[in-house]
Structure 1
Amino acid sequence: MAKYSNEFKMMIILEYLDGKSGYKTLARKYGVKADTQIRNWVKSYEKYGVKGVFRKKSKEVYPVQFKLDVLSFMKRTGTSLNETALHFGLTNPPMISSWNKKFLEGGAEALDQPRGRPPMTDKAKNVKSTRTTSENEMTREQTLERENELLRLEVAYLKKLKAFQMDPDGYLEKHKQRYHTNSKKNSD
């Protein structure tokens, strides 16, 4: 559950925008641990409106390539988690840290693994006890297809990284519009 309600965040944002109080004053007044939290809410609100502040009800699934692009952007530009999240329209900056940790530990493949346990249907529950270990394992062909897909992702990532290193400003300008339109589609 979120620590602060959406209504609470909006009340503080609107009070700040009225110009009567600063970040630190509002943090003390309402018991928010850090004034940077309020600053992030205000920046998100200014850039994306109410949707930028409110937590999403459903878990959003991001493609591996998007995660790699976010990590690459953050590494090359040296922006903070909050600035990167704001740039890509993400409302949960610590999620980027999680992606980075997974990538460092297991590469692009680790970014493709869904979180949590998949739901189990009644049919699967009944069949579970009768399965053999060979059915649980992927066939050689499936393993090779999976490996090929991961190599394609890695090559695409390295190409983008090289293009970014050669001309960071040109690369960001070229891809800026794509991320903003994608983030708007994801938040609908």
Structure 2
Amino acid sequence: MVKYSDRFKLMIVKEYLAGPLGYILLAEKYGIPSKAPIEKWTKAYQAFGEDGLRRKRTNQVYPVQFKLNVIHFIKRTGASYQDTAITFNMNTPSLIANWYKTFQREGLAGLKSKPKGRAPMSGKRKEKQSKEGNILSREAHLERENERLRLENAYLKKLKAFRQNPDAYLEKHRQRWHSNSKRKGSD
């Protein structure tokens, strides 16, 4: 979706209001894909002035009752989203269209505000471990350290054996690999 600057919108609206060119010719002249945006800008300008052409920078939160009133107005009168937006002093007909579609899909529950952002953490907090828990964690820590030292020791022994006689070490592992592959193939 192409976003047009406020100056560009104002220039086109003023050209439409002052000159002989219609929506379609202005759209062709400025390379706008359809006449719809120019119509929307013109109606917004006539209703709200230059403020009608500006994009809102903050999101306004509307109450559920207001949304419901807007939807009932559309159903009663058959007015377009643009006309409804002007009637309710809004500059965002697309927002009204979203409300209407959501209301048709989900009903009243869809119009209620939904919390934004990430869901809060669960109310269950981890309780601090007691002294017994700390003792167990200390024992677990020591067991992990012992296992790490065993692995390090075994690695250093194999490295030493490899440095002393690389050919014998490689031959031993080739034989082991060769005998394992024969067993697998004989199944």
TM-score (norm 1): 0.59
1: CA distance, partners of 2:108 / 2:54: 29
Give the 3-state SS of the residue equivalent to 1:3 in structure 2: coil
1:114 Cα offset (Å) = 3.0
| Equivalent residue runs for 1:39-78 within 5 Å | 39-78=39-78
TM-score (norm 2): 0.59
Once the two structures are superposed, what CA deviation does each residue of 1:116-157 show, in whole Å capped at 9, x if it has no partner?
x3268xxx6xxx3x6339xxxxxxxxxxxxxxxxxxxxxxxx
Give the conservation status (yes or no) of the 8 Å contact 1:52–1:89: no
Residue identity over aligned pairs, in percent, reads 42
Stretches of 4+ moved more than 4 A in 1? Answer: none
Which blocks of at least 5 consecutive residues in structure 1 are unaligned?
134-188
2: CA distance, partners of 1:96 / 1:110: 13
2:102 equivalent in structure 1: 102
Query: Against the structure 1 CA distance between its residues 2 and 34, is the aligned structure 2 distance closer, same or farther, given a 3 Å change threshold?
Result: closer
Q: How many residues align?
A: 125
User: Match of 1:5, as an amino acid?
Assistant: S
Query: Against the structure 1 CA distance between its residues 79 and 10, is the aligned structure 2 distance closer, same or farther, given a 3 Å change threshold?
Result: same
1:10 Cα offset (Å) = 0.8
2: CA distance, partners of 1:98 / 1:39: 20
Give the 3-state SS of the residue equivalent to 1:49 in structure 2: helix
2: CA distance, partners of 1:50 / 1:114: 32
Which blocks of at least 5 consecutive residues in structure 2 are unaligned?
126-187
Query: Against the structure 1 CA distance between its residues 107 and 82, is the aligned structure 2 distance closer, same or farther, given a 3 Å change threshold?
Result: same
Q: Which has the higher contact order (CA 8 A, sep 6+)?
A: 1
Larger Rg: 2
1: CA distance, partners of 2:62 / 2:21: 37
Quote the RMSD (CA, aligned, Å).
2.3
